[in-house]
Structure formats: C-alpha cells, structure tokens
Amino acid sequence: MENSNIFNENGLLDQNGKINLDEAGKWSRFLGIVGFVILGIMLIFGLFAGSLLSGLMAASGTPFASFGATFFTVYMIVVCAIAFYPTFMLYKFGSAVRASIRTSDAAGFNQSLLYLKRYFKFVGIFTIIILGLYALIFIFSALGSVVGR
C-alpha cells in the first residue's frame, strides 16, 4: 500500500467518482438516521402497545391475555434488533466514506467499503431466508389444500 491517497491523478477515483461517493455517503447517513428514528418509534410502540393489549385482553376476560401481549412485545424487540444491524452498517458507510473523501484517506475508504459489504451481505442473506420461508409456506399450503380435499 504505497499510495495512501486514493484521489490523485494516478489513483482509483477521479473527481466525478469523488462527487458521486460523497452524495451516496450523504444519502446513506440520512437513511441510517431515519432508520434509527423509525426503529426507536417501533420499539416504543412495541413496548407500550404490548401493555395496552394486555390491559384490553385482560378486560375482555381472555385467559391467555398476557401471553399475547408479551409475544407482541418480544416480537417487536426482535424485529428492531434484527433491523438495527443493517441500519447501523448503512450509517457507518455514509459516515466513513464522507470522512475518507474529505481527508483522501485510503484506509478509511477501504473501511467504508467494508461497511457497505456487510450491509449488502446481511440484506442478501436475509432476503434468501425470507424467500426460503415463502417457498416453505407455499409448499405447505399446497400440501394442506391437497390433503384437505
């Protein structure tokens, strides 16, 4: 790693690449911050909605009222915990790429690309898992309809 400046005339990026990455960094930070706000709202909603559901179900005389409300609260916490990682990686990419552009730091630029790789890897694996669950649901639904006839 002889050349630590990625933005010179012999480097990896020209002025257009620098401008495009800076703008991508701005949008990544913005989406990361919005994601954190939405996750915070979801978490607060999950905590308060669980207690509200518990009170409503207990008033209706449902025998397992606290179980449903507890399940909802735990579900919301798990969803927020899963969604936190890609949101954090997106925010870190935006921050790191903008800082590396300002300072022309190759190590910081490489670190920002690592954050971006982690973001896309997580989203890709999660997408594969969801598609697999959809396939299983479809197969079991088809089997259930065949068996039910």
Q: Is 111 helix (H, G, I), strand (E, B) or coil?
A: helix
- Per residue of the chain (149 residues), give pLDDT as tens: 444 566 656 666 788 888 999 999 999 999 999 999 999 999 999 888 877 777 777 676 666 666 777 888 889 999 999 999 999 999 999 999 999 999 988 899 999 999 999 999 999 999 999 999 999 999 999 999 888 77
Stated pTM of the model? 0.80
Residues 109, 113, 114, 119, Cα dihedral to 10°: 140
What CA–CA distance (Å, rounded) separates 6 from 148?
Answer: 64
